Structure formats: structure tokens, C-alpha cells
Amino acid sequence: MSGIDIAGLVLGALALVLKSVDDYKDGIRRITTLFRKRKYVEKLARALLQQQLFLEELIKSVALQSGCEHVLSVQLLVDDPVRYLSDPDIQEELEQFLGPKHSHFLVEELRTIGETVEKVAGGIAGLVPSIQGPKNDLRAIINANKDKSSLRDDLAPRIKLLFGITDINTMIEEIDAGTEKLGRFSMLILSNCKAMGRDPSGKGTKLAKAFRRIRELAGGLYRAVQDGFRDPCHESHEVRLYLDDRIDDASKILRRRDTTDLDTSLLTFDLVFHASNQNSDVLVYRTAVRVLNAYNNPCLNQGDSNNYNNSPSGVPTSGAVTFCVTPASPTISMHQVVTITSICTTIKSAGSIKPRLSFVLMGNQSIGPLPDDKIRLARGEHGGYVSLRQVLRATITTLPIKPRMHLSLQLASSLLQLQHMQWLAQAWSKDTIFFLKPSLSARQTQVDLDKPFITRSFDLQQRVETPSGPRETLLELGILLLEIWHGTTLETRFGMDQAFRLPPTTYYERLGRALEWQDDGGMQGLYGEAVSHCLTGNHGPAGQKLDWEDTKLWGSICGNIIEPLSNLCKQF
């Protein structure tokens, strides 16, 4: 045996050796001349039992944390550990979870424990019925006793301990040393694996409700933009969506949930529309798209039916979302807002209107006016931009801590706002987060970390990656937070950005590197708490896999990641 399956052999043999020592101990209890030896045999039995329980629970815990599907049958680990740990699928799950270094360490410790068990077995005569003397071959001992219906009746008459008190003491010391190492290993690997989704705080739960609402609005915005870009007026349509931590917006949504003021602004999306053709016909327009409390008001479903995407029965469909714009008059009533069908046509037609035309998001049951948009488009603003990866490789270490902390909060909260929304065509990473490129004419201009954004193409051929689960996504967020804190990439930190060294790709490879980086130190307090929860708090309760729609998961992310980062930003 060369892998984790050695644990099955050790556990199987431990059970038989412990049973033999227990039976022998009970047999000599009635012999007063062996009273002193009996005390040491009892100590040996306790040491063996403790080691058996530690090893059994360690394997169970690793199996549970790794998400092994076979964990539902962990009783087999107790009944037949050799068979359980001989399953190649289980071996792969456990070894991938532990990573190569920890797997190697555990296997070596198991070998040492196995050698100690062999020593104990070598001093017990009768473990193998066909051999009168002792036998230290663990597999032979297991095979010789696996078909016995009653081990107690079968073992007791033939068992005899051949070693003396000194030998027993030596074995107890070796067993205890192995058990102590198992305990330390268990703490190292598993102690920080808190269950994501268990008992989120009340504040975290409230914040999660608001963020789920914000995610719904972000989804509505995407559908509105998609509908507004259906005309084949340009070869390319793209939107830049600026990221915002939305902490203040979340508070507004919670406070104004029951208000009847339809003109109350819930939140604002900061967008840049970009459309282009090969003939240099380029359209660039920046605007704030606001969502009013009227977005979800059922009382407004009596308006012009042309303003809604209706089902055949005349009832607005749940996914019907569109844009409308207001004319220049700031006093325009809500029912005079004009529904648009083409974003590009509307922007071109409004070129001479002052103040600039504004956008408002319409829900399936409401429309609303929009106050004047004060944002002005900067010349060439859609020009160049750089990814977070490029920033991390260049200037971030020269920037003050405050913008870096705010960026961390923006990325963590935006993850919840956009996760599993079509805004994210690719996985959340440093390659999908961008910043405006500083002007070449500016001297020593730094990248503005306060305004991160994502870009989304609305071309028909745009492909969307299959979304990752919570565990993988939160690990990548944790890595992002580590990279922002240290001002470099994971690949650079471990020298894997060179051509001859491939970066880690699997979940457990990346987790292992991230944990090693975290252990380097330097992160304290609230930031360290958030990073730790991203890395090791993203497992569900025993045997349960959480998904993105689990409200407890959202509450836990808000309470253990977003809240600490938000509180940290308030300190600056």
C-alpha cells in the first residue's frame, strides 16, 4: 500500500489488536499474581482505543470536509475500514482534499502507527488461528478473523500476551506519540473549517436579504440592456458596469421596503454603453440607471399596456424588464415616461437635448421617472483599461492601504450582487475586473482603484461559462483578497508565472497555496477574518453541500466576509 488506503489496514488491525488486549485483560483480572501486569495491560488497551478513535474520526472528518459522496456510508469505515478505504474514488477525494504535502505526511504517520501496531501484534500469540505463535502481518491478521461470527468467543481462548511490563511501557509511549501527532494534524487541517451556512448573525441575515434583492435588480438590468441592444445597428455592443459595495443601498432597501413613495430611489447602476462598427461609427455614453421604489409596485399595472411585456392573458410576465427615459423637463410625471426599444437609437436622437437624457429601470409591474442625470461623459473614457492582474503586477504596492481595503469590500459585495447573473460571462477573477488606464499625458498617474468595473459583450456569439459552486467561488475571492493585501499575484508569490512552471488549477491545489500564503502572516483583525472565512469557511455542514440559493449561505457570507471588510473600511 502506497497511499491513504494504509489507514484502512491500520484501523482494521487496530480493532483486532485492541479486542485481543481487552480479552486478555479480562482473562487475567481473576489472577491476583498478575495484578501489576494487568494495570499496564489496561493502559495499553486505553492507548490503543484512543488511537483507534482519533484515526477513525480523522478519516471521517476529512471525508466529510472533502464532500466525498461515499461519506453517507461512513459506517462502513467502522465495520470494514479496509474495504472502505480501498475504494479508488474515496482515495482520490481524500488525497485531493489534503493536497500532496499533507497526504504524504499523513501516509508517513500511518506507516509509523502501523509499525507500532505490528509490534503489539508481534507480542500476542493466537491472533491467527492457524499459527500458534505471534504474527505481525496486519493483513494476515485481518484476513484470518474477518469471517468470524463472534470474535470474543473465538479470540479469547487462544490469546496470550508474550511481552513483559517494560515492553508494554515502550509500546504505550510509541502509541501515545502517534496519537498526539494525529491530534496536531487534525487541528492543522480541520480546525479552521467552519461550516458556511450555520447560524448566520441577525445582521448578516438582514444584509443578505437586501443583497438578494440587489441581485434581482441587477438581473433585471441585464435583461433590459439585452432587449435594448437587439437592433442590428452596430456590429458590436458592450456595456461597462461599475462595481459598488452597495452597503448604503442595502440599508435603504431594508428601510424603504414598505414605503408608498414611488419616486424614492432604491439604488443606481453606473453604466457606460459602447457600440461600434468597422467604419468607425462609435457610440459611447455614460449614464446612471436608477431604480425607483415604483419598480415593484403592483398598483401601477393599470398603465398603458404598450409599456409592458405582457403574457397572452394581459398579466405582466415575471421577467419583463425594460428601459424608459425622461425628456428634459425635471417635473415630468411618472406616467409620461417614454418606453424605449433601442438604446443606440435613443442615445443618438437625444444628442442635442440638454440636460442629457436619463434612464430609469422598469419592472414587470411598474414604471418611474428619473431625476436629471448629472454625469458627463469624459472624452475618450472608453479608451483603454487594465485588468486587476496587470495592476497587481505593477503599482498596487505603492498605493495607500485605504483604496485597497475599499477595493476588497467592493469585490466581495459585488460577488453576491452578480453571482449566477449573466453579467458574469466568466468566473470571478483578477482577469475579469478592470480599471481605466491612466492617461499617457499624466505624470505618475496611478490606477483609480475606487472605480473597478466589469465589461459584458451583448453579441450573440458571446459564451457564458458554467457557474462554479460556492466553495470554488469563495476560494477565488479569498485569493483575490490575499493578492490585494500583499500587492502581488498568487502565481508570482510562488514563482509559477514562469513558462516552465504551471500554476495550480484544481481546487485543492489552489487552496493549499492560499493557506500557505495565509500562514505567512501579516494579516490581522477583520481582514484576516474575512480571508480565513473565504478559504476555510466555505464547506457546508457535515455531508451537506450548499448552493447559491441557500439563504444561510448568503447570511454567512455577509456576516463573516462583507461585514468585517465594511467595518474595516469605516476605520479609514
Which DSSP state fits 150? Answer: -
pLDDT value at residue 153: 54
In whole angstroms, how far apart are CA 468 and each of 358, 378, 440, 547, 549? 36, 36, 38, 10, 13
Which residue type is seen at 508?
Answer: Y
On whether the CB atoms of residues 401 and 361 are closer than 8 A, the answer is: no
Contact 49, 18 (CB under 8 A): yes
Tell me what pLDDT residue 57 has. Answer: 82
Distance from C-alpha of 123 to C-alpha of 434, rounded to nearest angstrom: 68
H helices present in 428-546, as ranges? 470-486, 490-493, 507-518, 525-536
pLDDT at 244: 94
CB 539 within 8 A of CB 471: yes
- What was the pLDDT predicted at 402? 87
pLDDT given for residue 291 in this prediction: 80
Is the link from the previous residue into 316 a cis peptide, with omega within 30 of 0?
Answer: no
Predicted local distance difference test score (pLDDT) of residue 126: 66
Query: How many other CB atoms sit within 10 Å of the CB of residue 73?
Result: 13
Written as nine digits, the cell of 410 is 467592493
pLDDT averaged over consecutive 10-residue blocks of the chain (572 residues)?
76 82 68 63 85 84 64 62 80 76 83 86 72 68 68 59 79 87 73 51 84 90 85 88 92 68 74 85 84 55 34 33 50 54 81 68 45 42 77 71 92 91 84 82 64 88 72 92 91 75 74 86 83 76 62 89 91 75
Cα-Cα end-to-end distance for the chain? 56
- pTM over 0.95? The answer is no
Rounded to an integer, what distance in angstroms lies between the CA atom of residue 559 and that of residue 306? 43
Residue 67 · residue 98 · CB < 8 Å: no
Cβ atoms of 240 and 383 closer than 8 Å: no
Q: Where are the beta strands (DSSP E) in 142-242?
A: 160-161, 236-242
